[in-house]
Chain A
């Protein structure tokens, strides 16, 4: 069964360092997303990506964040200069369609980022 894969599963970094989280979405999906969950809090939307550009982003997704689809399979989230409050579980997701009738987002297992 096709699945979304994420690497690394856990990354520890020093404050101020750049981090790249990688995702391989399901191959025939067109829409890609990043969400994050700070421990014990809500799963928060960061950004959606379609047709090689950002389609929507949240207020969390500031200039420190960027996304890229560098080739036909990978979808990356870069945090330019990490802060302590960036420590969270980051989930990548993909879907065939977008909007309220699509129903299903397919999630990866998450990448846990710890900023020291």
Chain B
């Protein structure tokens, strides 16, 4: 069945470091891909999305490119801040009611 695999955390970085969180997927059909973020004490919220191959989603300095050939949607940010500390979830939807999530990757950013 459809699934999402993302790198295990936690990921610990110093402020201004470059961030990559890997995400790969398995899906029948052509899914839309998402990154959600969960800040401490809050619910998941959409960070960015891409609906077709080669699309780049971006928001708040984060980017991810839909790579059909490698079935990947890696999250990147050029310079992380302490306020980016959160749990990041990669997800996909193939057109039905069900969005499939990965396990989440916890990011700690040190000042």
- A residues contacting B by CB (< 8 A) are 3-4, 31, 33, 35, 37, 40-45, 48, 50, 55-56, 58, 91, 93, 98-110
Bin the interface of chain B by size: 20 to 34
A90 CA / B4 CA spacing, docked (Å) = 19
Q: Which residues from 83 to 111 on chain B have a C-beta closer than 8 Å to any C-beta of chain A?
A: 89, 91, 93-104
Contacts of B77 in A (CB 8 A): none
Are A98 and B104 in contact, with the CB atoms below 8 A?
A: no
Are B97 and A109 in contact, with the CB atoms below 8 A?
A: no
- B residues contacting A by CB (< 8 A) are 4, 31-32, 34, 36, 41-46, 49, 51, 89, 91, 93-104
Are B32 and A107 in contact, with the CB atoms below 8 A?
A: no
Are B101 and A107 in contact, with the CB atoms below 8 A?
A: no
Contacts of A44 in B (CB 8 A): 101
Contacts of A104 in B (CB 8 A): 46, 49
Q: Tell whether A103 pairs with B44 under 8 Å between CB atoms, given A45-B100, A56-B96.
A: no
| A93, A100, A106, A109, most chain B CB atoms within 10 A | A100
Contacts of B96 in A (CB 8 A): 56, 98-99
The prevalent SS among residues of B at the interface is: loop
Contacts of B31 in A (CB 8 A): 100
Are B98 and A42 in contact, with the CB atoms below 8 A?
A: no
Are A56 and B98 in contact, with the CB atoms below 8 A?
A: yes
Question: Closest chain B residue to A108 by CB distance?
Answer: B43
Are A107 and B43 in contact, with the CB atoms below 8 A?
A: yes
Pick 17 A–B contacts, CB within 8 A, sort by A. Answer: A42-B4, A42-B103, A42-B104, A45-B98, A48-B97, A55-B97, A91-B44, A99-B93, A99-B96, A99-B97, A100-B51, A102-B93, A105-B46, A107-B36, A107-B44, A109-B43, A110-B43
| B94, B96, B102, most chain A CB atoms within 10 A | B96
